[in-house]
Amino acid sequence: SPNIPSQVLEAFKATQGKTITCQAAVAPPKAGEVRVKVIANALCHTDIYTLEGHDPEGLFPSVLGHEASALVESVGPGVTSVQVGDVVIPCYTPECRAHDCIFCQSPKTNLCPTIRSTQGQGLMPDGTSRLSKDGQALFHFMGCSTFAEYAVIAEISAAKIHPGADLNQMCLLGCGVSTGWGAVINTMKMEPGKSVAVFGLGALGLSVIQASRLVGARYIVGVDVNEKKFASAQAMGASLCVNPQTCDGGDVKAQLLQAEKWGYDYTFDCTGHVAVMRNALEVAHRGWGQSCIIGVAAAGQEISTRPFQLVTGRSWQGTAFGGWKSRTEVPQLVQRVMRGEMTLEPYVTHQIEGLSRVNQAIEALHSGSCLRAVVKI
């Protein structure tokens, strides 16, 4: 049963239908929308990348944040899949489930395009914003804007989860960790007994290692320029960690191929650097190796390799949110964690109390020893 205190539900009655004024003003949800009280938000590098102006398509002023857990405070007209008091994870990849959505109807993808264009413009599906400050409209971010006390999201972006879940951990399932797990399970459909190379050992890379180990990988190599990441990678299941800057002769491909002469069955880029993506492809196994791009490259970057690499049996793939159909499958991931089949604990390297201490989370992220900084809001 829901473990939401009755005072919280009572307090929600007082705010329903009204604009909530917190650090920004949050208008009530319109049709097909849900207003949520954010409980915890983990800072992801994409938020900071956008904040610092590295995403040339970033829209300002906006409310960032997209890795959160939350309580439904009120619902707009026509909302049926969640109700006040439900516990949700806002998902930047929606799932409309419409009979005429060829993407939702296909088992091959999670890329529902139903609200894609307005989400990309920083707006709700009706083309307007629910957020403002001092009378000026603010843009939404990735359909979530959860680095805030309250957020308005589309109903089709709200994954209803078990009410007894630990919300300070489950927020991680809104982006990074789910993506790494899904890259292994859905995108690559990794079989047991395989060799794996993971480039980049942040939360994404570690979640790839964790899932690879779960499915029974035989040998897992982690690659990172920051050796502070090696201990957690090994604890998660990496057999060996390599620093490309200091490995034998500075040639990371040669170093990796010493252990696996013909290459690795599965390789993953979790750095977002196109040169690394190329190395990841080129250490994939001759004849059948598959390489998955998870990292998000800077705008304008392009990948390249010699076509010979593909002719000789390697293939290049990519994943968005690990291929999970958000509303259907995120709740299942929560259950897996609650059953103890997967753990989120190692990713929460920093816990910060209160939105006003947000800068501590940003500093933590820049420190090089942070996987995820969870801000309890």
Active site (annotated) includes residue 247: no
| Smallest separation, CB 94 to ligand DAO (Å) | 9
- Does residue number 138 form part of the binding site for ligand DAO (CB under 6 A)? no
Question: How far is it, in rounded angstroms, from Cα 49 to Cα 352?
Answer: 20
- Does residue number 84 form part of the binding site for ligand DAO (CB under 6 A)? no
Active site (annotated) includes residue 128: no
**Binding residue for ligand DAO, selected from 296, 297, 342, 362, defined by CB under 6 A:** 296
| Smallest separation, CB 125 to Zn ion (Å) | 12
Strand ranges across the sheet with 136-138:
20-21, 25-26, 131-133, 136-138
**Binding residue for ligand NAD, selected from 147, 199, 266, 316, defined by CB under 6 A:** 199
List, as one string, the DSSP characters of 212-260.
HHHTT-SEEEEE-S-GGGHHHHHHHT-SEEE-TTTSGGG-HHHHHHHHS
Residue 82 DSSP SS3: coil
User: Within 13 Å, how many C-alpha atoms sit on residue 119's CB side?
Assistant: 19
What is the size of the binding site for Zn ion (CB under 5 A)?
A: 5
| Smallest separation, CB 360 to ligand NAD (Å) | 17
Q: Which of 97, 116, 213, 273 is catalytic?
A: 116
Identity (one letter) of the amino acid at 33?
A: E
State the binding partner of 203 from ligand NAD, Zn ion, ligand DAO, none, CB within 5 to 8 A by kind: ligand NAD
- Lay out the site mask for ligand DAO across 93-132 (x = CB under 6 A, - = otherwise): ------------------x-x--x----------------
- Element (DSSP H or E) covering residue 21: strand 20-21
- Does residue number 101 form part of the binding site for Zn ion (CB under 5 A)? yes
**What phi-psi label fits residue 190: left (phi over 0), alpha (psi between -120 and 50 degrees) or beta?**
beta
- Does residue number 294 form part of the binding site for ligand NAD (CB under 6 A)? yes
Between 274-282 and 252-259, two packed helices, what is the crossing angle to 10 degrees? 30
Burial class of residue 190 (count of CB atoms within 10 Å of its CB; 0-12, 13-18, 19+): buried
Active site residues: 44-46, 66-67, 96, 101, 104, 112, 116, 175, 372
Q: Contact positions toward ligand DAO, by CB under 6 A?
A: 44, 46, 111, 113, 116, 175, 296, 320
Q: Which residues bind Zn ion (CB under 5 A)?
A: 96, 101, 104, 112, 114
